[in-house]
Amino acid sequence: MKALIYDIKPLGWVTCQWLKHFWPGCLLSELNGFSLRDVPPPELPTRNWVRLRTLLGGICGSDLALVAQKAPPDSLLQAYSSMPMIPGHENVAVVDQLGPGVDSSWLGRRVLVEPTLGCNPRETRPMCECCNEGHFGVCENFSATYGGHAELPPGTSIGYNSATGGSWGEFFVAHESQLIALDDDIPDTEAILVDPLACSLHAVLRADFVQANQVLIYGAGVLGLGVVAALRAMDYTGRIEILDRHDYLKSIAERTGADEFFTLPGETQSRFEQIAGRVGGRVQRARFNNYMLAGGYDLVFDCVGSRQSAMESMKWTQPLGQCIMLGTLQGKVDDLTPIWFNELTVIGAYGRAMEHYQGRRLGTYDLVLELIRAGKLNPRGLLTHRFRLEDYKQALLAAIDKAANHSIKVAFDFRQE
């Protein structure tokens, strides 16, 4: 099968750190660990696994962080991944082969695969306390320290380990418990948005938005737009403002449910002054161009995950307010003063879980599909670009340079159309 392989070596990483300033294309080369190859399809780890034929494979912001080398070399996430890997956890696929322990009705079905490799897919018994409570997104066994019958290497999900493959390849494997059947009412081009919408919805359900009168969403990429949509789907009626650098996102942000889309200048003092004007706050200045805000938004979602977005999100949250971090943080935040000084509640949101909704307990993917069918979530228009796998360099460039390409979600298209 054809697959895009990622297998970075220390020398290549260091070389690209220097070379990318003169030749950005090095990030898409074998020097940075990327290569398109013919490789054998991954094997089924146990009798309860299936092989899948990829239809669409999405490109996520966390995938782009690998490409752009945004993670520091001592990132803790290294303990929860293994190489060589075939990236891609966002997927629409068809079940192609069954292990002997899998129900035969799955064969040939179009599915989504919930990619998290918690205790159930690893067949770890007893399950860790988090998985046992339905919080499989924070499984204690991602590092494979405790093994499991499936004997998987370290990896938080499909696409981030050396055994399962991912949706940037023609085939990958998954555990039966990860399969979610798709009916004909949701086309591939909308189904591929279920994973990022699920991440956004999970973050909204982690927040206490009932008492929030004014919400800021930092970043109008697919996660930020998903947070807007999820808040409205959860019947939030307060004011939602969304911040981004790129004006082309304005119309879709407002169509999704934002009250206002805005941009900010690059200069720090002007950014704080404009935010202060929006919330009726006051700018406080310290030394060395460090600023704070008296006042702020009731609730802020950081959907970018940069050092700047993390710091500004916390500084723009009002005292006793909530700051939700769902962008994969690339870099280290070195000033935590806003947390203790303003007694903030900072909440992390990662992946998906078993959610509590209207007296029921169901998976985030299932809830997203339910809300799409009910007309409360609308993924149409969010998939803006599709590429063949052979054109992976153009695909990754379209996903990285969003402003030049007016891209939101980019995906690899393996279908024979």
Strands 383-387 and 409-413: parallel
User: Which residues lie below 8 Å from residue 197, measured CB to CB, with a gap of 6+?
Assistant: 226, 229, 230, 368, 377, 379
CATH code for the part of the protein at 200-348: 3.40.50.720
Length of the chain counted residue by residue: 417
Domain at 2-193+380-413, CATH homologous superfamily: Medium-chain alcohol dehydrogenases, catalytic domain (3.90.180.10)
pLDDT tens-place string over residues 165-191: 999 999 999 999 999 999 999 999 999
On the 0-12 / 13-18 / 19+ scale of CB atoms within 10 A, 213 is: exposed
pLDDT score, position 204 = 98
Low-confidence ranges of the chain (pLDDT < 50): none
User: Which residues lie below 8 Å from residue 107, measured CB to CB, with a gap of 6+?
Assistant: 95, 97, 98
Alpha-helical (H) ranges within 342-387 are: 364-373
Q: How far is CA 243 from CA 42, 231, 246, 263, 379, in A?
A: 42, 16, 9, 6, 20
- Residue 136, Cβ neighbours under 10 Å: how many? 24
Domain 200-348 in the same topology as domain 2-193+380-413:
no
pLDDT tens-place string over residues 315-327: 999 999 999 999 8
pLDDT score, position 144 = 84
Which run of H or E residues covers position 110? strand 110-113
Q: How far is CA 306 from CA 4, 135, 255, 325, 327, in A?
A: 26, 25, 26, 11, 8
Name the residue ranges covered by the structural domains of the chain.
2-193+380-413, 200-348
pLDDT score, position 417 = 62
| Residue in 182, 187, 92, 91 with CA at minimum distance from that of residue 381 | 187
State the Cα–Cα distance between residues 322 and 42, nearest whole angstrom: 43
State the Cα–Cα distance between residues 4 and 170, nearest whole angstrom: 9
Location of structure tokens 């322990």: 101
- State pTM to two decimals: 0.96
Gap between the terminal Cα atoms of the chain: 18
Contact 68, 328 (CB under 8 A): no
